[in-house]
Chains A and B, each alone.
Chain A
């Protein structure tokens, strides 16, 4: 039932898409004539999206070209994730230190504290180094260090 609902949704979208961008021509009409009779009209970006788009406007193409702001949004997400990770590690350290103080020196607590500290540091290193890791991977595979970090989406004619 769920799958049916999903496929219906997708099908509707595909149908809408075709209606919007591939309108069948009327008799004798050329392509140019056809485009002027816009069936769907112009859809504007929602408020938040429009602001992100405005930040990337132009994007090296032209001042009036609307950029795709999802890249900036993703960058913000990553920045916030890094901050949150730092905070979590900070509290992990405090927690580990506290349980170390409060322990009676048993090996079980020692082990736990050791693991918490090790994996916190490891995780933080991975998160902080993720830019570098990604840059190395893209340099290795695509020959361009910013292939992933500065993604460029191209149309049918590159």
Chain B
């Protein structure tokens, strides 16, 4: 699909090149594609962060003694709860969708 700039009703999705053989429109056909892309990868990144936070909590334990215990507990709790909220976010929205009957993401 060529992009003709002299034409009216120019489709920017055609005109912006994603790489050598794809236009932006071919891949990102809907905003949902971008949302899915971000959501899929943010779990990977959050998982790695969770890993580092657990190790950090261990460090707080060995370096901080009693004071470190409080801090380490906080870090571990926050990390785990945050991860679970991320994990449950879709379910929360699904429940809201069912309860209120609004079409949140397919509409």
Contact = CB atoms under 8 A, between A and B. Distances in A.
Contact of B20 (A35, A148, A152, A154): A35
Interface residues of A, number: 52
B91 to A, nearest CB: 12
B87 A141 contact: yes
Contacts, number: 141
A122 interface: yes
B65 A116 contact: yes
Interface in B1-42: 1-6, 14-24, 27-28, 33-34, 36-37, 40-41
Nearest to B84: A141
- B contact patch SS: helix
A27 B6 contact: yes
Contacts of B69: 119
Contact of A24 (B6, B15, B64): B15
A82 B89 CA distance: 33
A56 interface: no
Interface in A91-133: 92, 112, 115-116, 119-120, 122-127, 130, 133
